[in-house]
Chains A and B, each alone.
Chain A
Amino acid sequence: NAGVTQTPKFQVLKTGQSMTLQCAQDMNHEYMSWYRQDPGMGLRLIHYSVGAGITDQGEVPNGYNVSRSTTEDFPLRLLSAAPSQTSVYFCASSSGQSRAFFGQGTRLTVV
């Protein structure tokens, strides 16, 4: 039981490049979400999913896409990276209103 696994841990992108942050969980949780964490700010919700095939926007969705083809995986796609997307990204999963499990984070730098 690995919990929530995020890859990669670090990434440097050039402005305009695209990439996908991977997130996988092995706890059969229906709810998965992506957050970004910036200095001096609380974690902000980017996108979330309440089950396979269902996704919705969070607080800061612009510039990001998600899909949920399986219960286990919830990838986050940056379509055209911008310096404003430099941040630490966390994926989380939970079941109902139980405690959420977070991945170790992906530190993304866009130059």
Chain B
Amino acid sequence: KNQVEQSPQSLIILEGKNCTLQCNYTVSPFSNLRWYKQDTGRGPVSLTIMTFSENTKSNGRYTATLDADTKQSSLHITASQLSDSASYICVVSATGTYKYIFGTGTRLKVLA
């Protein structure tokens, strides 16, 4: 069964600190993996998209990594800001399909 699991479920860090969020998936055949940021009460917004051949991609202070062999991805946030407080969702799609498998997200709270 195609699944996407994220950890931790929630995380609290102090402003300025770094953090790493994890995503494991069993989707096959793999097409691409996306990380989205979802602010409370808003729709998800894309941060990164990675295909099978890419193992790292950055978007400002966000850096995503992908290990297609172990089927793991991580999202590293550097020098966190209060505005980083949100849910971060890992999404994986399989080749030949428009369907995306969503993880349940990691809820990040950044404290001043």
Contact = CB atoms under 8 A, between A and B. Distances in A.
Nearest to A99: B46
A2 to B, nearest CB: 13
Nearest to A40: B104
Interface in B56-112: 89, 93, 98-105
A100 B42 CA distance: 14
Contacts of B31: 97
B100 A100 contact: yes
Given A42-B101, A92-B43, A105-B42, 17 more contacts: A4-B43, A31-B98, A33-B98, A35-B102, A42-B89, A42-B105, A43-B44, A45-B100, A50-B98, A59-B99, A90-B43, A97-B93, A99-B46, A100-B46, A102-B45, A105-B41, A105-B43
Interface in A34-50: 35, 40-45, 48, 50
A109 interface: no
A50 B96 CA distance: 12
A75 interface: no
B41 A42 contact: no
A104 interface: yes
Interface size class of B (residues with CB under 8 A): 20 to 34
Query: Is the interface on chain A under 10, 10 to 19, 20 to 34, or 35 or more residues?
Result: 20 to 34
Given A100-B46, A102-B44, A43 B102 contact: yes
A99 B46 CA distance: 6
Given A43-B102, A48-B99, A103 B46 contact: no
A58 interface: yes
B107 to A, nearest CB: 11
Nearest to A4: B43
Contacts of B43: 4, 90, 92, 102-105
A108 to B, nearest CB: 14
Contact of B99 (A41, A58, A99, A104): A58
B8 to A, nearest CB: 14
26 contacts: A31-B98, A33-B98, A42-B4, A42-B89, A42-B101, A42-B102, A42-B103, A42-B104, A43-B44, A45-B99, A45-B100, A48-B99, A58-B99, A92-B43, A97-B49, A99-B34, A99-B46, A100-B46, A100-B100, A101-B46, A102-B43, A102-B44, A103-B43, A104-B42, A104-B43, A105-B43
